[in-house]
Structure 1
Amino acid sequence: MPSQLRVSTGQHSDKGRKPSNQDFHGLHIPPELQLGAKGIAIALADGISSSEVSHIASETAVSSFLADYFCTSDAWSVKQSAERVLSATNSWLHAQTRQGQYRYEQDRGYVCTFSALVLKSTTAHLFHCGDARIYRLHGGALEQLTNDHRLWVGQDVSYLSRALGINPQLELDYHAVPVEVGDLFLLATDGVHEHLDPRQMVELINSHADLDAAARAIVALAYARGSTDNLTAQLVRIDELPVQDAGELYQTLSELPCPPLLDARMEFDGFTIVRELHASSRSHVYLARDGDTPVVLKTPSIDMQHDAAYLERFLTEEWIARRIDSAHVLKPCTQTRKRHYLYSVSEFVEGQTLRQWMIDHPRPDLETVRGIVEQIAKGLRAFHRLEMLHQDLRPDNVMIDSSGTVKIIDFGSTRVAGLMEITTPLARDHLLGTAQYTAPEYFLGESGTPRSDQFSLAVITYQMLTGELPYGAQVAKSRSQAAQNRLVYHSARHTEREVPAWIDDVLRKATHPNPYKRYEDISEFVHELRHPSAAFLNKTRAPLLERNPLLFWKSVSLLLAVAVVVLLCR
């Protein structure tokens, strides 16, 4: 069986010389299935002594993080999931302070420091604000991985510059580091680290085989050395990392055999095959019936049945479809019986591809194009909300049904941030889309962004309006930054079709070779397809002399009169 992430842990907290303990700490190791998707979470919060309610803040911060982080989407990256959860917690804490009697005294409200460590696959993700610390013991040396957010205003006077609940917006440090078997992480509050140097902590860790005992020893020594604060220490050691070899993974993927080629009227796994819809070197797509319900069966190509990377992407398609809920994205069908072969089942969209629609409607009006683009954009935004990039948006991967509803299909090239964080030996191609619609940055070996999907959508929009491509076939040939800088956009107005100048300006921006010069969000692109931007209107605005000659000459006369009066006064 493939190995899983395994850790040993130890933790201890004590109120020390204070009347109560305002520190709060915890960790959560989820069941094996969620362990690979979300990892292991460790969190530590330290209340501030000037507040009577900060112990509530620290307990809330840790307990909500350990609960809510594991409720976020499996498709999200660790960074996205943690930051969403912590931002919500910060807003709640700040609101509690604003509603209480200390609304104008931040240091007496619901405030605490916070440090968290999420171990996923072979990476440690660190989240930090305040003056607790996270260390890593690696190769016999203890390295501090976080910075103290404390502002010193005098030799012995300082205050927290960052913490949960201080401000309505959370400013959080994030850092990701690769880990190895044997690495040990130490989380400690200031009551511990201010009274022990790294050498002493290393000695205590190395002298105790049991990590709970080591944590107690660290707290005890800090207390003995005069600490007057609450004291908390957490230790996490990496015992095993999730490393799979290609043979193990291929065996897992191939537990179900690839189905044979299917023919009309054949009975297959409880389905009745009606006809073949599409066939390529990568897959076969069939119309079938599940009882009286028409469905679509997709099977891997027989030629690809020994390609583990391809099979992984094939299985991921259905995983993706089950996590997206949008009227403009193809829906999977609920599996009601055991499968005996490797295939996927989805809804049947009775209609035609956008490619065929473009052939049937060679000169569509602008409003019809807008309607199609807006629906595709809604589908793409459903991907982007889950930190997914489609990466292969093209007319063949868009269906229009008999009611005019547009749906995005085929997720074989989709990039999922949460899955990309999981270690796998399989090669992950950056360039999986179709060259004519692929954003230029992919040809430079860069990772895509939502602006890359925006480029593909803009190219499709351009093609519907003009029947051509904005750069012809030159994008795929431009494999260097210099070559891409030489790309020349062909104005949509050079064709015989009537494309407004401002629409051409929108398409020029959305298909710019530099992703940072495109629209920040796909919704901006869609909006400007209906509303000319102020920048365009100002750029094309006629001079005042042409728009209103009378007002122009009145203004000139007024200025001359003012000048004459000024001269006479002198």
Structure 2
Amino acid sequence: MRFELDTGLSSQQGKRPRNEDFAGVQAPAAHEVERGWVAALADGVNGAEGGNGDGLMAAQTSVMSLLRDFHGVPADWDTSVALDRLLGHQNAWLASHNRRPGPDGQPREALTTLTAVALRGRRYALAHIGDSRAWLLRDGQCLLLTQDHRMERRDFAGLTRALGLDEALRLDHSAGELKVGDRLLLTSDGVHDALRSRQIADLLRATPGAQAAADALTTAALAAGSADNATALVLDIRDLAGPGFDDLAALGRTLPSPGQLGVGAVLDGYQVTALVADNGVHRLLQARELASGRLVALKMLRPGRADDPEERAMLAHEIWLGLRLAEAPRHRRRGGDSGFVRVHPPAYGATHFYAVFDWHGGQTLEQLLAKGLLDVAQAQALGGAVARSLSLLHAAGVIHRDIKPANLHLGDDGQWRVLDLGVALSPRAPASMRELHAGTPSYINPEQWQDPPLPADAGSDLFALGVTLYQALTGRLPYGEIEPYQLARYRREPASVSRLQPSAPMPLDRLVMKAVARDARTRFETADELLLALERLAARDQPAAARAARALPDGVSGWQVALAISALLNLLLIAWLVFLPR
């Protein structure tokens, strides 16, 4: 599902000598869809009679700079933070401009009102200063979303806040949920000073099409005697994208967690069929979707941790990451599969906060190793699948931080999948996650234990994968069971894989030992490099066996071929000696 918006903009000069209103809408580029849309309307302040154009300049530059820079801010900025910082820079520039006298020696008056709205995921965020306005029409009800910053008296009417008026910027911020069918409206005072709120609502309800509605509003305002420029910007929400990070974080803050659900309990159309795991923080349940009959996995906070805001934020982050990976470019996946368990977006009207995942039958690597070691082919398949998944993860700027046998799952469909993004780091990860030294000690690279410790990075995931492959082939950990204070264990290289498992070929031995080397400079630098090494290893093994099988007929062994070649060479040498001229 993609975000679909119908926009309409109408701006009429009216009785003014020039039109000093300015408005616009900016859609995201294809690779910035998650950042959403942004729209803004500004009304330049016309000070002296006739004005000197400073108000128009202030309105134009304020809207254009916001629309130009909005999609360039860091991805981890909250929408309201992005609006506040971008408009703060613009306000500082206008205030500095106004401190310098104009060419005629008169004070500059580059001032403007501005109302901006950003639409991201399933929410909107407003930033407002001055007396332009924002409205929301939903289900036939029209709601004014802003409050004018204007002083009204018999002998005076003027703005109390505007861009460029003061060094310190004081914006009004608000946010809310979006629904399909919503109609957002931004107006300059030339529209809402001439039309009553009821008239504006009637026109919004009665006029289909965003552009037709915008035209109807400005035309009606001028017909009603408006003495100012009249501008209306209409945004119709046709369809919504999947929930963004802000949407999920809001759900995590507001919805209650499910209680201690037992088998047979029903939650939002899912009936619990089994308790799968309980780690003290989360409970994982198997459930059946009543509408479709399919099995799913439900992940939720335990009742004792249900009110922990940090745990709620981490679960919201995990859901967001899963949805983001599902949208990764298909050329980076294997057979269309991302290598991660697919997460479902929260349904509209969900009553509790929890995550819903696809259910896959099968076993984790930890469960498989309890029955026996992997053979060489199985280990190579495991390494290639996980390396491909890590390549996808790292390309998205995400570090898993907990690769280990318990988090690698072999499904009944033969696919290896990486589980549990609960402690993964991304640009949107909560601060509490960044401070958390996550992972299982025996799989954490030595650099994270040194003083001062280095943060986890892509190399940390590759080291953990190397440890996992070592364990899958030998049944042992390369450096043994590690505790955070046991840095001394890393003073010696581990025993080679082939020493502990003689059936392991030397090329695979060298690959695994490189992945778990003590010195980070000698390890693989990227998941793609490790994946390429595994693919070359597999390709080299298969053709060699095939060529050997084709070269030797049935019943002919290698030593027989070698004996025949040796005899032929001896005969040639004797013939040369016999017939050599004397």
Q: Which amino acid aligns with 2:322?
A: A
Q: Which amino acid aligns with 1:519?
A: F
* Matching residue of 1:374: 384
Is 1:394–1:460's contact at 8 Å kept on the other side of the alignment? Answer: yes
Is 1:430–1:442's contact at 8 Å kept on the other side of the alignment? Answer: no
* Matching residue of 1:281: 280
State which of 392, 399, 418 in structure 2 corresponds to 1:408.
418
Q: Helix, strand or coil: the match of 1:260?
A: coil
Question: CA separation in 2, counterparts of 1:311 and 1:343?
Answer: 9
Q: Helix, strand or coil: the match of 2:435?
A: coil
Shift, 1:254, TM fit? 3.8
Is 1:272–1:288's contact at 8 Å kept on the other side of the alignment? Answer: yes
Is 1:36–1:121's contact at 8 Å kept on the other side of the alignment? Answer: no
1:457 paired to 2:465: yes
Question: CA separation in 1, counterparts of 2:454 and 2:171?
Answer: 31
Is 1:38–1:120's contact at 8 Å kept on the other side of the alignment? Answer: no
Deviations along 1:27-57, one digit per CA (max 9) or x if unpaired, are 9699xxx999689899xxxxxxxxxxxxxxx
1:359 paired to 2:385: no
* Matching residue of 1:340: 351
* Matching residue of 2:111: 210
1:273–1:505 CA distance, 2 compared to 1 (3 A):
same
Shift, 1:497, TM fit? 3.8
1:440 paired to 2:446: yes
1:504–1:80 CA distance, 2 compared to 1 (3 A):
farther
Question: CA separation in 2, counterparts of 1:182 and 1:67?
Answer: 15
Deviations along 1:485-517, one digit per CA (max 9) or x if unpaired, are 735333223314433333232222222344443
Q: TM-score, normalised by structure 1?
A: 0.52
Is 2:399–2:425's contact at 8 Å kept on the other side of the alignment? Answer: yes
Larger relative contact order (CA 8 Å, sep ≥ 6): 1
Shift, 1:523, TM fit? 1.9
Q: Which amino acid aligns with 1:323?
A: R
Question: CA separation in 2, counterparts of 1:463 and 1:312?
Answer: 33
Question: CA separation in 2, counterparts of 1:395 and 1:378?
Answer: 16
Shift, 1:366, TM fit? 0.8
Shift, 1:306, TM fit? 2.5
Q: Which amino acid aligns with 2:397?
A: E
Q: Helix, strand or coil: the match of 1:371?
A: helix
Q: Which amino acid aligns with 2:340?
A: V
Moved more, 380-389 or 202-211: 202-211
Q: Helix, strand or coil: the match of 2:525?
A: coil
* Matching residue of 1:502: 507
Q: Structure 2 matches for 1:403-552, cutoff 5 A?
A: 403-417=413-427, 419-420=428-429, 426=432, 428-443=434-449, 444-474=452-482, 476-478=484-486, 486-531=491-536
Is 1:484–1:513's contact at 8 Å kept on the other side of the alignment? Answer: no
Q: Which amino acid aligns with 2:424?
A: T
Question: CA separation in 2, counterparts of 1:271 and 1:290?
Answer: 5
* Matching residue of 2:398: 388
Is 2:493–2:518's contact at 8 Å kept on the other side of the alignment? Answer: no
Question: CA separation in 1, counterparts of 2:416 and 2:264?
Answer: 30
Q: Which amino acid aligns with 1:330?
A: V
Shift, 1:425, TM fit? 6.2
Question: CA separation in 2, counterparts of 1:334 and 1:120?
Answer: 21
Deviations along 1:285-333, one digit per CA (max 9) or x if unpaired, are 1111002111111111122123211110011111111111334110023
Greater radius of gyration (CA): 2
* Matching residue of 1:270: 269
Is 2:445–2:460's contact at 8 Å kept on the other side of the alignment? Answer: yes
* Matching residue of 1:57: none
Equivalenced residue count is: 351
Deviations along 1:186-215, one digit per CA (max 9) or x if unpaired, are 789xxxxxxxxx998964699656279xxx
Is 2:384–2:534's contact at 8 Å kept on the other side of the alignment? Answer: no
* Matching residue of 2:230: none
Q: Helix, strand or coil: the match of 2:479?
A: coil
Is 1:256–1:342's contact at 8 Å kept on the other side of the alignment? Answer: yes
Q: Helix, strand or coil: the match of 1:428?
A: helix
1:427–1:397 CA distance, 2 compared to 1 (3 A):
closer
1:348–1:532 CA distance, 2 compared to 1 (3 A):
closer
1:468–1:485 CA distance, 2 compared to 1 (3 A):
closer
Question: CA separation in 2, counterparts of 1:203 and 1:478?
Answer: 64
Deviations along 1:402-453, one digit per CA (max 9) or x if unpaired, are 1211111211011112x14xxx665633422222222333335433222221
1:285–1:202 CA distance, 2 compared to 1 (3 A):
same
Shift, 1:518, TM fit? 2.1
1:200–1:290 CA distance, 2 compared to 1 (3 A):
closer
Deviations along 1:161-202, one digit per CA (max 9) or x if unpaired, are xxxxxxxxxxxxxxxxx97996668789xxxxxxxxx99896
* Matching residue of 2:566: none
Question: CA separation in 2, counterparts of 1:80 and 1:258?
Answer: 28
1:366–1:200 CA distance, 2 compared to 1 (3 A):
same
Root mean square deviation, CA, Å: 4.7
1:527–1:302 CA distance, 2 compared to 1 (3 A):
same
Q: Helix, strand or coil: the match of 2:299?
A: strand
Moved more, 279-288 or 434-443: 434-443
Q: Which amino acid aligns with 1:412?
A: G
Deviations along 1:369-418, one digit per CA (max 9) or x if unpaired, are 1111111122222212211111111111111111211111211011112x
Question: CA separation in 2, counterparts of 1:375 and 1:458?
Answer: 13
1:322 paired to 2:316: no
1:350 paired to 2:361: yes
1:493–1:237 CA distance, 2 compared to 1 (3 A):
farther
Deviations along 1:523-544, one digit per CA (max 9) or x if unpaired, are 21122235469xxxxxxxxxxx
Structure 1 unaligned spans of 5+: 1-25, 43-61, 71-76, 82-117, 125-177, 189-197, 213-233, 534-570
Q: Which amino acid aligns with 1:210?
A: L
1:200–1:312 CA distance, 2 compared to 1 (3 A):
closer
Q: Helix, strand or coil: the match of 1:388?
A: coil
Shift, 1:351, TM fit? 0.7
Q: Structure 2 matches for 1:3-402, cutoff 5 A?
A: 70=71, 203=100, 208=109, 210=111, 239=170, 253-291=252-290, 292-325=293-326, 326-333=337-344, 335-336=346-347, 338-362=349-373, 364-402=374-412
Q: TM-score, normalised by structure 2?
A: 0.51
Q: Which amino acid aligns with 2:111?
A: D
Question: CA separation in 2, counterparts of 1:514 and 1:38?
Answer: 43
Shift, 1:273, TM fit? 1.0
Q: Helix, strand or coil: the match of 2:283?
A: strand
Structure 2 unaligned spans of 5+: 1-23, 41-62, 114-162, 176-247, 327-336, 539-582
Moved more, 179-188 or 522-531: 179-188
